[in-house]
């Protein structure tokens, strides 16, 4: 696979071609995921639960994220790498710039941060300094205590309109991508159609420009109850690589996610 860039993915959106995103946190899985043709690797702060055994993403530090981003960068074979800014590492624009520098120097190509319009100044500053940004809307796990748990967001008319406006403002501020988590499929479709930048979905229906899953979830090895938006691709595959290729194929041909994986 030739190197995937932001320009590549923006062109995919313009052409109506979907792309696949998976998490990875180490060199071995980064090599496997990128070699299987997945266009983007997310080094997610989900590592707090997947690797560290916490019950949320909040304990993850910037040092953790930089370490795992560097591991992924060493194993990567051409995928674009997106890394999460962890909890309270971007409370101010200046802190966001310093934290982003650490992740970009570790090997990230784009950083992701959670929140709405309050991030506009930070995003504008980062973009001026050459740091591409993906803005994460909907269910934002770092705000789980404020949200009252892991709940679908944007179901009321008022909250849906606010999310639509937040998406518009974040794009205008310079965001290069949006990620929508656990929002009604119809709302995600509207935001995607109106956005000039790629929109990645997780639990947001089939109409976004891309899908992302946690690697361990789609391999069916995460303990506990499986989230509604997850599909076990190992159940239809005879190897991890085949499961990853099947996931990417089904994202691109829009057979995943199906209606059962989304929210009304």
Any idea which residues carry the catalytic annotation?
Answer: 181
Strands 110-114 vs 210-213: parallel, antiparallel or unpaired: unpaired
From residue 137, alpha-carbon distances to 168, 204, 210, 238, 256 in Å are 12, 11, 15, 35, 21
DSSP 175: -
Binding residues for Mg(2+): 45, 84, 114
Binding residues: 45-46, 84, 112, 114
User: CA torsion sign, 47 to 208 to 223 to 139?
Assistant: positive
The residues, any chain, with a CB within 8 Å of residue 139's CB and separated by 6 or more, are: 147, 150, 151, 152, 153, 181, 182, 183, 203
Peptide bond into 257 cis (omega under 30): yes
Binding residues for 3-methyl-2-oxobutanoate: 45-46, 84, 112
């Amino acid at each position: 696979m030739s190197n995937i860039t932001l320009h590549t993915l923006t062109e995919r959106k313009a052409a109506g071609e979907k792309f696949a995103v998976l998490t990875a946190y180490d060199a071995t899985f980064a090599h496997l995921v990128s070699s299987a043709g997945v266009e983007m690797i997310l080094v997610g702060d989900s590592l707090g639960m997947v690797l560290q055994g916490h019950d949320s993403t909040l304990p993850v530090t910037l040092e953790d994220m930089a370490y795992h981003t560097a591991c992924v960068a060493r194993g990567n074979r051409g995928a674009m790498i997106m890394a999460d800014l962890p909890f309270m590492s971007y409370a101010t624009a200046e802190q966001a710039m310093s934290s982003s520098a650490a992740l970009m120097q570790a090997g990230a190509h784009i950083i992701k941060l959670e929140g709405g319009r309050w991030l506009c100044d930070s995003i504008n500053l980062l973009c001026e300094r050459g740091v591409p940004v993906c803005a994460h809307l909907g269910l934002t796990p770092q705000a789980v205590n404020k949200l009252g748990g892991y709940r679908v967001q944007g179901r009321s008319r008022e909250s849906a309109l606010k999310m639509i406006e937040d998406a518009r403002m974040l794009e205008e501020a310079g965001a290069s991508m949006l990620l929508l988590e656990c929002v009604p499929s119809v709302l995600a479709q509207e935001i995607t159609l109106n956005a000039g930048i790629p929109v990645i979905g997780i639990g947001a229906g089939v109409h976004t420009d891309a899908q992302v899953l946690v690697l361990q979830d789609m391999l069916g090895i995460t303990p506990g109850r499986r989230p509604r938006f997850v599909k076990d691709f190992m159940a239809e595959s005879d190897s991890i690589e085949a499961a990853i290729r099947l996931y990417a194929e089904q994202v691109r041909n829009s057979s995943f996610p199906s209606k059962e994986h989304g929210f009304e």
